Structures are given as structure tokens and as C-alpha cells.
Amino acid sequence: MIRSKLRLRDVLRADVPAIYGALARDEKGDDRLVRRTYRFIHWLERGSPRAVQAYIVTPLPLLWAWRAGNGSSADEIHKYYLRALWREQSALHKVGSLLALLAWLPIVLAMTAWSSWLNGSMVRRKTGKAIARQALEQLWFAARHGMLPPWYYMFEMFDPAQQPKAPHYIHRYELKNGLLQILRRKVPPSDRSSTQNKIAFLKRCKRAGIRTLPKMAVVRRGKLNLRKGMRDQFLAQDLFVKPARGRGGEGAGLWQRSVDGYRLQDGLPVPPEELLAHLRRLSKEKTLLVQSRARNHSAIADLSNGALCTARIVTMRNESGGHEAVCALFRMAVGDNRQVDNFHAGGIAAPIDVATGRLGAATDWGLRPHHGWKTHHPDTGGLIEGRILPLWAETRALAERAHAAFEDRHIIGWDMAILEDGPAIVEANGGPDTDMHQRVSRDPLGNQRFGELLAFHLRTL
């Protein structure tokens, strides 16, 4: 693959697609310090399976976590996280957490300066709000609600209409760094299902009669595991290759077949045997899953630049033990990336009305001024806002039915493809990102069904 050097400038500019592309292509570059710093941030986000932990800096609301709340689901979730963060620490670590509060102001000031540098001028032009005023608001929301400065811009807290919603946002770090682990710890290890291992995940779905994108081959330790007699058919079509373990589409690639051989994105064509040799080499470091290319339903073909679009549907176990879809969004690839539709790769997403399948306007992650809000696809011109997805009732029902095959999970994020002959599951995420849904809907999950069910499950532990 073509090597793309990761630059410090990309990190400072929060150029997530550039970071994502470089990390996916090359693990052994001469910019290891930058790479290790970025991976360290990912490590901070993953949390610990043994204890709740803080993310970057101890949240200042920890100081008043034991005050009476307002009774809302979001407030209950915030307080559960903060109290567990304190409760699960040793006496020495509690002292350390209190001392770490001394670093709160300088760290948040640095993050405020960085976020304002990225977004302040754009917001000033759009709203007339001075950058100094934006900076003060970032400090306030970080102190009062634990919303760190980058999320001030992601959730558009500079808009007065958005500011009253601040207490109801469920923060990514609250889930990733503790609450999901707390829920998971209540399930005996022998009863835990895997969503990270894509091969094991596909096998479990097959046993349960859940439709997924089928597996064609597995490449492991330099060996291609393919059914006998399938070789010619295997090399006569487009192939989608991804690591058997991974997240966010990292390391995935679409190899398109032509008379010249196989081509990845806009790279040079390679003969089929050379592609196989390449996959065998890669598989010595990580197992690869190979699938045939899936194509979007014709009714949404104009919402794609060539990559497969997916609906991310979050399902949760409800009070009666059933499973229901609580929020959803539709992801689309744009620009030069025609491989995957993830936010990390520069894609955009639109909120889906769970009841009707109707799309809202689409946007990107919002860490820096780039796409803004789009009513039409930037590349194809296809209408996004107001579009009703085909086969939506069937797609939602498949996600809810699939959750029953992973009964130990309280919450799952499903990546669903809507194909001409019906929906199919691409993969699942046991720790789905709440930022995406709250960003594209401009509405916090804490005051929705998601927050109600999360608070219910925490309450019953």
C-alpha cells in the first residue's frame, strides 16, 4: 500500500481522516512519537475492565457528585459515573485524583486554546460571538457539566438554543471509561459474547439465523482458508478485506477487479496472484476477513460516492427483557475516500427517525469547521434531508432480533447495510459511540429512550 506519513500538523489540526489514513497504512513510520501519542489517547478512551477511570483530566463535577440531583435520567447517569470513579479507587488513588484537580485549569485552558484556534474564527463569522466569549463558555461547560472544549464545538454549545441541553449529554468518556465495563462485569466471563472478533461474531449470527454479509475467506498466518473449488470464483469479483479484529473501519479496503487486475482506491493495478501474496504477508501480523463487495439498495445509490453506506442502529435491552432500537444514523462516504463510510475516514452522517426511517441533514464529526450541515450529498447531489430509507422497518427489526442472540449485552451498535434484497448486518460494536448520534441529531441522548434505559440498568445493578 502507498505509505502516507503522519504529520504533527495533522494531529494539531484534528485532521481525523489524515490521521486515520496514515495509521491504517503504515505502522512503522519514522513519526513514531506522534503515532504513539495518538494511540495513547485511544488507550485512555478504552478505560479499564477492572475499574472506572477518568479521561485526560479528573472531571471537576466530581466535587459535587454527592449533592441531590434533579431526578433526570442524564443526571442519574452522570452521578453514577462520578461516584463509581471515586468509589473504585484505593485511598492512595483518591488522594491522587484530588491532587490531579490542580491540573484541571491548565489542561482545560490548553484544550480551550486549541479548540478555539480550530473553530473560533468560523463561529465568530457565523454567529458574531467573540472568540474570548467562546473561550469563557468552554471553561464554564467544562467546569459545570464535564463537557471538555472540543465537545463545545461538536455539540454547538455556542448556539444559545443548544446551551440548555448541556446537562443531558451523555459523554463518551462516561461510557467508554466505566459504565459499559460496569454493566459488562455483571456477566460471568463464560457467558460473554464477542463482537470484536468478527469471525466469531459471524459464526454466532449464522447459528442464530441472523443475516450478515457472508464470509468468503479468512487469511491467517500466511494461509488462505477458502472452500475447495472456490478459487476461480473468489478472484473474479471485487473483494472487501478487513482485519478480523479492528474498529472504525481501520485497515479495511475495497479491492476492485478489472481486466488489469485488482486496484485499491486509485492505486496501480496488481495481478490477482500478487494480491493474494500481499494478503498472505499482511496476515502474518493480523488475521484478515475477506468478503465479496456489497452494493447499496438502488433507492439510496445516489447517497454514495462508491462506498457501501451503513445505518448505525443502537439497540438496548428494555425493562421487560426485550430489545428495542433507541437511536440511529445513516453514514455516507464523501470525497476521495471511497472505501468506508466511517466518521474517522472523513464521512458524514444523518440522523434517522427510528419510527419512520426519515433522514435529517448530514454533517461530520464537528471537531473542526469542514462540512457543516448538508441537505444533499456533497459529491452526487442526492437529497439527504427528508429522504425515507427503503426497507427501514425490516432493517430495524433485524437489529432488534439480532440483539436477542447476544443476550448478555445491554447495548449494541449495529452497522447495517440496506441491499436490494433486504438488510444485512455488516458488524456490531459492543461499545457504540454516543458522540455521533448526539452530534448529528443536535439532541442529547440523556433525555431520550437511550438515557432512560441506561439509567434503568445502572439502577438495577
Of the listed ranges 18-32, 127-141, 245-259, 365-379, the least confidently predicted one is 18-32
- 237 in helix, strand or coil? coil
Residue 389 φ/ψ, nearest 5 degrees: -70, 140
Per-residue burial over 17-42, b if 16 or more Cβ lie within 10 Å, else e, is: bbbbbbbbbbeeeeeeebbeebeeee
pLDDT single digits (tens) 135-185: 999 999 999 999 999 999 999 999 999 999 999 999 999 998 789 989 998
Contact, 210 vs 401, CB < 8 A? yes
Separation between Cα atoms, residue 163 and residue 141, nearest integer Å: 9
Residue 103 CB: number of other CB atoms within 10 A? 12
**Which residues, including other chains, have CB under 8 Å from residue 437's CB and lie 6 or more apart?**
312, 314, 327, 328, 329, 351, 445, 450
pLDDT single digits (tens) 282-323: 899 899 999 999 999 999 999 998 889 999 999 999 999 999
Separation between Cα atoms, residue 413 and residue 430, nearest integer Å: 6
Concatenate the DSSP letters of all residues of 15-77 into one string: -HHHHHHHHHH-SS-S-HHHHHHHHHHHHHHH--SSS---BSB--GGGGGTTS---S-HHHHH
Residue 371 φ/ψ, nearest 5 degrees: -85, -35
**Which residues, including other chains, have CB under 8 Å from residue 72's CB and lie 6 or more apart?**
167, 168, 446, 447, 451
Cell of 315: 439497540
pLDDT at 5: 62
Residue 426 φ/ψ, nearest 5 degrees: -85, -50
Residue 151 φ/ψ, nearest 5 degrees: -75, -20
In the 8-state DSSP scheme, what is residue 367?
S
Sign of CA dihedral 40, 45, 51, 56: positive
Question: Using CB atoms within 10 A of its CB, is residue 109 exposed (0-12), middle (13-18) or buried (19+)?
Answer: middle
How does the average pLDDT of the chain come out, rounded?
Answer: 88
Q: Would the pLDDT of 452 be above 90?
A: yes
Q: Which domains does the chain have, with CATH numbers?
A: 186-211+296-430 (3.30.470.20), 217-286 (no CATH)
pLDDT single digits (tens) 85-95: 999 888 998 99
pLDDT at 86: 93
**Which residues, including other chains, have CB under 8 Å from residue 189's CB and lie 6 or more apart?**
none
Confidence of residue 2 (pLDDT cuts 50, 70, 90): very low
pLDDT single digits (tens) 80-128: 999 999 998 889 989 988 998 999 999 999 999 999 999 999 999 999 9
pLDDT single digits (tens) 412-422: 999 999 999 99
Instruction: Specify the higher pLDDT residue, 51 or 108.
Output: 108
pLDDT single digits (tens) 341-380: 677 767 899 999 999 999 999 999 888 766 789 999 999 9
pLDDT at 50: 67
Which residues, listed in sequence order, are joined to residue 331 by a DSSP beta bridge? 310, 349
β-strand pairing of 310-317 with 217-220: unpaired
Separation between Cα atoms, residue 115 and residue 120, nearest integer Å: 7
Long-range own/partner contacts, residues 299-302 (CB < 8 A, 24 or more apart)? 299/389, 299/390, 300/382, 300/387, 300/389, 300/390, 300/418, 302/377, 302/380, 302/381, 302/382, 302/383
Contact, 195 vs 427, CB < 8 A? yes
Concatenate the DSSP letters of all residues of 400-427 into one string: HHHHGGGTT-SEEEEEEEEETTEEEEEE
CA dihedral 107, 108, 110, 116 (to 10 degrees): 170
